Structure 1
Amino acid sequence: MAGKQISRSKSRIILLALSLLGFSLLIFLSSLSPLRTSSPSSPTHFHLPTSHTSFVASLEHFLTIPHSEHTLPQLDVNNLDDAIFNSESDRLYSHPYYPITLPLRVYVYNMPSKFTYDLLRLFINTYRDTSNLTSNGSPVHRLIEQHSIDYWLWADLIAPQSERLLKSVVRVHRQEDADLFYVPFFTTISFFLLEKQQCKALYREALKWITDQPAWKRSGGRDHIIPVHHPWSFKSVRRSVKKAIWLLPDMDSTGNWYKPGQVYLEKDLILPYVPNVDFCDAQCLSEINPKRSTLLFFRGRLKRNAGGKIRSKLTDQLSGADGVIIEEGTSGERGKEAAQNGMRKSLFCLSPAGDTPSSARLFDAIVSGCIPVIISDELELPFEGILDYRKIALFVSSNDALKPGYLLKYLKDIQPTHIKEMQQNLAKYSRHFLYSSPAQPLGPEDLVWKMMAGKVVNIKLHTRRSQRVVEGSRNLCTCECRPGNITNTGSTIS
């Protein structure tokens, strides 16, 4: 009996050993399987930095990281032109879709720190000074955050490639390889945080530095990107860089902020404001959408200039109406909380023009899941070549909106199924308006480069045309399209 028990014990041990060996072999073989979902390039194989959507938090982290700069010998204009010809010829004959290709190749200028890092440090060292207000009472540092697109784009472009997620753009370190050139000057910070004369002097210095670059001289600046997202920024020297690509909040065809011929969709790009309120994610929306009890909400400055004068007229017409909340407010912390709470409780959010046709409230509404009601006849929208705003917003003409009773009847007549569909589209679209570091695929930084790709061929056309025209040749080659007013603006292109 004892012998049989020992034999059984040995059999169990052998069976267990064989089982462990088989299990180990299975794990080993699965690790070699071609069906394995991860790969050496998968994000699981390297550490990605924490994603920041707060400008202040991202900037504080950014300034702690040492950044290496590539400084290569600079070619003169003629040698650079020859080098670009050789580089473009290689791409033309080796890439079947050139120049309609991604990723875009962007050269980032290594500007002196007084135009870049010094201004970022000035902001971070002073942003808690909430007593610093504009003439209308808005906190200056909050306005800078609202227009901080220059930071988000630059921070992504110069980040180590191993930490970047975007596939639409790559930074190149030789100018002859570039499709576009990025100028990392913080025009908004300098405008708001420097003394007036100091700011103007810095603008002149920046202008000289930029226009002295051989690449600028070669193209006249046509392939250079300059962030001028606040309508007051870089204003004193704009006429000298009007051929460059401007990153703008809107076009403002009223002429109050930009001179005729300075801005147009063929050349420039509209970028969204950085939202003032927190992003309401899918879980947040699933909780609050069934509880939205307010029909129409607006909180902000009720008296504005230019096209924004419609705000006071709408206030007179809508105040006190059932289901409508219209409040005077600013963009401070208390104002942010009140606006956020109001938007998350409302089906529709009023988005009238401000001093310019655009307003940050449009993007606050989008990230809050509140359907925007846009009353701004001259508004141009970000990334409209990619996004269809009719699926997430309502557009009402100023004339109709001011007709007694029109707007409320229009909103009340919208079917619940249509409202639900627009809310679902808002949940999908909101990611396109959320700046972050690292920049996310299909975020605003990504859509910038996808839109820019559509401009590259036209930029090359006008650059080469300007290089070969002779005295007496036809100089006018395009027009600025405006309803009822076709005005030739070839002098700004050619």
Structure 2
Amino acid sequence: MSLMSEKSILPSKFLSCLMIVSLSILILSSLSLIRFGDNSFISRSVFKLILVNTTSANFKPNVISERIEPPSLSSVASPSLSSVASPNHTPRPIRSREVAWQVSNSSKKFGALGKDRRKGCVPNEALLRVYMYDLPPEFHFGFLGWKGNGNQIWPDVGNPSGIPHYPGGLHLQHSVEYWITLDLLSSNTPSVTRLCKAIRVQNSSEADIIFVPFFSSLSYNRDSKLRRKKGGVNRMLQDKLVHFLEGRDEWKRLGGKDHLIVAHHPNSMLNARRKLGSAMLVLSDFGRYPHKIANLEKDVIAPYKHIVKTIASSDSAPFERRPILIYFQGAIYRKDGGQIRQELYYLLKDEKEVHFAFGSVRANGINQAGQGMASSKFCLNLAGDTPSSNRLFDAIASHCVPVIISDEIELPFEDVLDYSEFCIFVGAYSALQKGFLLNLLRGIGQDKWTKMWERLKQIVQHFEYQYPSRPGDAVDMIWEAIARKISSKQFEIHTKNRYHRLQLIGKTS
């Protein structure tokens, strides 16, 4: 019989005790749900998604709430490849994505892209944990003339005056590895205010990905004069790197699949890429890679660093103050897919409102190109020796609507950016039909052009490389793209394990 049926009346003290106990149990249950450690009921990735969806979008990047003190660099072993100390490596378990990256419809909009909505940097909540090999300076900052004191491997990135400068001119366009390495080093530097997208960890078993800090593009550019000789410094460094990686337990464990290598110059890593192609590569395009080595399933396309100055939104000329309709200045005679340049040159060179001319970085060429793009409505981005070129990102920095004529091009961050909102795409065959391109662009009215121009001013920040990194800039976006690739790989691994683990249990039972 129930209490109500017996019409019994509980003493008031007993009721009070019962309410207190019930309330205590409720509070403890809530705390256990909120906790997001490795054994919690709610995974860390779900907790993060709750934070992202409930926290204010107003983010102040200069507020630091927590830092991890790094080990002293003075304790690092002698900076030679043979003496790079291996950490106490233990097999890293396959775990659920603690930082699973989900792209919602709202995140595709500018207001949510590249935004870290937490206040300051909380290392334990970083999007990525990255282990970076302590390669000797000859593989990275040694190219910039930097020499450490004693066994010092890395420059003091907390002191801006002590950071070596990357060479300017066309070399700068492929400087991706330089900015990524600086960003990782700054994650262990308390004096630097930065995002917490990627945090450098000191034990590879704790890492989501393992970064190989080789300035491969600069190695190629610096050694290009020796290409006709057998060997050369660039070839020697690639051989040493392959030997080093193939001897590491970290590489052997997954055959390098959890490693990250930047090879942004199309000719960088030419000798080593087949042996190291299992790693995740950061590239400018796939133009000189077989699909087995480089593809969108595992690799990341990163933007070139533009070499013209970025125009401030307030200084950007509107439609009526851009007298040039179509602008192109650069190398005209190219091989492979770049032959379209010379064909278009002969079609357009005598047309009114068209600037189509040869240009180079010499004789103030960069400033001239920047001024020309800033005075133009449309800027041509044509395939060269490879499908991509830095010209696209120069156009974006100039708020000149890019016209992309490159059928094989891959674009950075295209899974979260809709390029059709600020670019015009024209097939190569159509572009070579007499009058087609001119009629197409002349038919785009001021209202439509202005809408694309406004969008350019919104997304330009996603293609800016800077130190320290800021919300939504190129480095920030690259780390997010890497996280999405890792999440995709983990999904594939976990689905394959659905029945594999059951089979293993059956064999041992």
TM-score norm. by structure 1 comes to 0.71
Residue 315 of structure 2 is matched in structure 1 by: 284
Matched, 1:154 2:181: yes
**Equivalence map 1:373-384=2 (5 Å):** 373-384=403-414
Residue 229 of structure 1: aligned partner? 264
When residues 69 and 208 of structure 1 are mapped into structure 2, their CA distance, relative to the original with a 3 A threshold, is: farther
**Which of residues 372, 388, 406 in structure 2 aligns to 1:342?**
372
SS at 1:105's partner residue?
strand
Contact 1:373–1:394 under 8 Å retained in 2: yes
Give the C-alpha shift of residue 42 in structure 1. 6.8
| Cα gap change, 1:42 to 1:98, in 2 (>3 Å) | closer
| Counterpart-to-counterpart distance in 2, 1:144 and 1:70 | 31
Q: Deviations over 1:94-129 (max 9, x none)?
A: x5x668785111111111121122112279xxxxxx
Distance 1:309 1:211, change over 3 A: same
Q: Is the deviation greater in 98-107 or in 442-451?
A: 98-107
Name the amino acid aligned to 1:342.
G
Name whichever structure is richer in helix by fraction: 1
**Match for residue 298 of structure 1?**
328
Identity of aligned residues (%): 33
CA offset at residue 382 of structure 1? Answer: 0.5
1:261 maps to 2:280 = no
Q: Answer whether contact 1:219 1:463 (CA < 8 A) is retained.
A: no
Deviation at 1:390, TM superposition (A): 0.5
Q: Partner of 2:356: helix, strand, or coil?
A: strand
Deviation at 1:210, TM superposition (A): 2.1
1:210 is matched with 245
- Report the 3-state secondary structure (helix = DSSP H, G, I; strand = E; otherwise coil) of the residue aligned with 2:381: strand
Residues in 2 aligned to 1:69 and 1:391: alpha-carbon distance in whole angstroms? 51
Which of 247, 257, 263 is the matching residue for 2:282? Answer: 247
**Aligned counterparts of 2:75 and 2:355: Cα–Cα separation in 1:** 51
Which position in structure 1 is the counterpart of 2:62? Answer: 43
Equivalent residue for 1:275? 306
- 1:250, 1:270 within 8 Å by CA — same for their partners in 2? yes
* TM-aligned CA deviation for residue 70 of structure 1: 6.2
* Deviation of the 1:144 alpha carbon: 2.0
Counterpart in the other structure of 1:74 = 86
Is the 2:387–2:406 Cα contact (8 Å) retained in structure 1?
Answer: yes
Q: Provide structure 1 residue ranges, at least 5 long, that are not aligned to the other structure.
A: 1-36, 47-65, 124-139, 471-494
Q: 1:323 aligns with which of 353, 357, 371?
A: 353
For the pair 1:438 / 2:468, whether they are aligned, the reply is yes
Q: Deviations over 1:52-96 (max 9, x none)?
A: xxxxxxxxxxxxxx96676796357xx521xx22xx55x77xx5x
Cα 1:425–1:388 shift into 2, 3 Å: same
SS at match of 1:262: coil
What CA distance in whole angstroms lies between the structure 2 residues aligned with 1:450 and 1:269?
10
Aligned residues: 382
Matched, 1:387 2:399: no
Instruction: Label 1:440 to 1:44 Cα distance change in 2 as closer, same or farther (>3 A).
Output: closer
* Structure 1 counterpart of 2:15: none
Answer whether contact 2:401 2:423 (CA < 8 A) is retained: yes
CA distance in 1, matches of 2:378, 2:265: 27
Query: Distance between the aligned counterparts of 1:383 and 1:144, measured in 2?
Result: 23
Task: Report 1:92-241 matches (<5 A).
Answer: 103-121=127-145, 142-159=169-186, 160-194=189-223, 195-196=226-227, 197=231, 198-241=233-276
Aligned counterparts of 1:324 and 1:460: Cα–Cα separation in 2: 50
Correspondence for 2:396 = 366
Provide the aligned C-alpha RMSD in A.
Answer: 3.1
Cα–Cα, structure 1 residues 461 and 273, in superposed 2: closer, same or farther, change >3 Å? same
Instruction: Tell me the amino acid that sits aligned with residue 200 of structure 2.
Output: R
Question: Could you list the per-position Cα deviations for residues 216-242 of structure 1 after superposition, in whole angstroms to 9, with x for gaps in the alignment?
Answer: 111111111101000111101111011
Q: Distance in 2 between matches of 1:458 and 1:388?
A: 20
Q: Which region of structure 1 is more displaced relative to structure 2, 373-382 or 182-191?
A: 182-191
